[in-house]
Structure 1
Amino acid sequence: MPTAYGNYHNYNGPASRFPGFPPSSHVRDARLTMLESLVPGLFTAKHCLDIGCNAGTVSCQLAVDFEATSVTGVDIDSSLVNQAENLLALRSSRVRPPIAESSKPIVDYFPVSAVLTHGYRVEPASKTSRSSPAAPALPLLPRVNFIAADFVLSADPAISGPYDVILALSVIKWIHLEHLDKGLVTFFQKCSSSLASGGYFVIELQTWDSYERAIRPTTAPHFRESLAQLKLRPETSFDEILQEHGLQLHKTCDSLPRRISVYRKV
């Protein structure tokens, strides 16, 4: 069931219906794999922002499996941020340290059963002091930080960038319904200003019929009045708005249930 913000717990979106989609959070997300093939090296050694990170699956994979230098995950729901921190601690606890100075840590080396039996080797951030930086607690992985915030409204310098890559997967619809047309334009403008020159902005497109399904009684009916006020449409309006804010369409892929588009800051 969705929360008051429209997001779902442990949500993977329509990509979960794609053949071969990972049944577990440690198996690579098909969207990230596709993006790596679409723009080779998109995440490697990059500073990434995952907006609407939910329970942290994508953020953790960016760091652990796609070798990002740093990852910041932001979600409006603090309970989901706690889940994300727990997932990061689990994946961090499964990493085998390098056995020589020139070797790399081996991810998913220790089985989940070992962590469940013997406990976490790395404690979740929710169990440690939030005043201390994440990096010292996670010496074997890139810096990963989860923050509970509304990205559209937040002035937190910790999420201001600049980033090499910003991802908005399965989240644009909820931002649009929450903040209406003006808020969506603000969101796009903020994403552009948070990107480094030449950086990439990734959108998983939620079409208008998805908006209409969102207001069903079993989903998020409180957004019904918001939907009636929207003039901008995902299929026709987004490219123009993004271009106005210096983001040019770079690559598009329709191989997954939802179109994923990559824009580049010029």
Structure 2
Amino acid sequence: MVEENRNNESNNKGKRNDDVKKREPAKECTTNEQQPSKKKNRKEVAVFGNYRNYYGYRVGQDLDEDPRLKVMKREWFEGKDCLDIGCNSGLITISIAKKFGCSSILGVDIDGARIEDAHWTLRKVMKTSTQKTTSKTTQGSADAKLSNSLEKHKNHSLVKVTGEYDSPPEETKDLFKIVSFQKGNFVQGWRTPSNTHYHAILCLSVSKWIHLNWGDEGLVTLFWRVWTLLQPGGVFILEPQPWSSYYNNRSVSEITAANYKNIEIPPEDFQDVLLDKIGFRKVDNLTSSLSGTKSGFDRPILAFWK
């Protein structure tokens, strides 16, 4: 009987130990796995450079506008059809439409979530402009007449000594008719609406991500497609990332890691490829007039002419 009790006690102890063994790994797994996942969530991995809130840390709250806009000229965009490759949340796309008076501008991004962000941004901008307009129209009729008189006078004096133009009042622009966004992979499968050709095409801090994900072939495809979509005399505005930036992002996926090892066209050779291989006739380096850029984003901006 005593022996039987000992056996029962031994068996029960064994069961308890087995239960502990079953429970302990689960508890340890929960502790060790959940914590790293939280850390990963803090550092966003964007395989295509499709960061959320990209402009939040690129431009920040301390700047009135993206510094890159200051090196661009109205005559490149005014009354013309434009394309923004890799538009992200659409801030640059919308800003160009507002500041330079495009006839149309289309923003394309590979990430549908960023396109949704861009549509949200456009609605927010239009809502703000509408509120400003409503506020102004509620002024007294005398003030309204004076404002109209001043506006007419201003319209007769648009040309400055520098040859630049004042931007038309934001509230007079229906951006919904000018700005549009579309999800698409520019180097693979995307087609322009109604075979449109453009007078200005932008590719700002996007070439690295195309290069890492599709290699040299993808980069050349980018350049060639831009060339074919540009009107004669059109401008291609390129902001390439430096090679050091490639190194920092080479391991975001297995594909980028493999392509990084095989890249033979470094960013410093892009200009030669675009001029000698693709066929652009000249290039203007806009970097010297660029100021106010945040640390880590001091990249060259080049304008290539077809």
Alignment of 1:241-260 (within 5 A): 241-243=273-275, 244-255=277-288, 256=290, 257-260=298-301
CA 1:229–1:159 in 2, change beyond 3 Å: closer, same or farther? Answer: farther
CA 1:108–1:181 in 2, change beyond 3 Å: closer, same or farther? Answer: same
| Equivalent position of 1:35 in the other structure | 72
Q: What secondary structure, in the 3-state scheme, does the structure 1 residue paired with 2:50 have?
A: coil
Cα distance between partner residues in 2 of 1:170 and 1:258: 8
Cα distance between partner residues in 1 of 2:197 and 2:46: 30
CA 1:57–1:87 in 2, change beyond 3 Å: closer, same or farther? Answer: same
The offset of 1:105, in angstroms, is: 7.3
Where does structure 1 lack aligned partners over 5 or more consecutive residues?
A: 110-137
CA 1:211–1:159 in 2, change beyond 3 Å: closer, same or farther? Answer: farther
Cα distance between partner residues in 2 of 1:178 and 1:13: 25
Alignment of 1:40-79 (within 5 A): 41-79=75-113
Aligned with residue 5 of structure 1, among 48, 63, 69: 48
Cα distance between partner residues in 2 of 1:13 and 1:189: 32
Aligned with residue 232 of structure 2, among 197, 203, 220: 197
Cα distance between partner residues in 1 of 2:194 and 2:108: 8
Cα distance between partner residues in 1 of 2:101 and 2:107: 15
Q: Contact (CA 8 Å) 1:64, 1:142: kept in 2 or not?
A: no
Instruction: Indicate the structure with greater helix content.
Output: 2
Where does structure 2 lack aligned partners over 5 or more consecutive residues?
A: 1-43, 138-147, 156-166, 291-297
Alignment of 1:36-185 (within 5 A): 36=73, 41-96=75-130, 106-107=169-170, 139=174, 142-158=177-193, 160-185=195-220
Cα distance between partner residues in 2 of 1:160 and 1:206: 30
Q: What secondary structure, in the 3-state scheme, does the structure 2 residue paired with 1:240 have?
A: helix
Give the structure with higher Rg (CA): 2
Q: What secondary structure, in the 3-state scheme, does the structure 2 residue paired with 1:65 have?
A: helix
TM-score when normalising by structure 2? 0.66
Q: CA RMSD in A?
A: 2.9
The offset of 1:11, in angstroms, is: 1.7
CA 1:31–1:148 in 2, change beyond 3 Å: closer, same or farther? Answer: same
| Equivalent position of 1:23 in the other structure | 61
The offset of 1:139, in angstroms, is: 4.0
Cα distance between partner residues in 2 of 1:140 and 1:155: 24
Specify the code of the residue in structure 1 equivalent to 2:66: D
TM-score when normalising by structure 1? 0.75
The offset of 1:41, in angstroms, is: 2.1
Specify the code of the residue in structure 2 equivalent to 1:78: G
CA 1:13–1:190 in 2, change beyond 3 Å: closer, same or farther? Answer: farther
Q: What secondary structure, in the 3-state scheme, does the structure 1 residue paired with 2:305 have?
A: strand
Count of matched residue positions in the alignment of Structure 1 and Structure 2:
224
Cα distance between partner residues in 1 of 2:211 and 2:186: 12
The offset of 1:8, in angstroms, is: 1.3
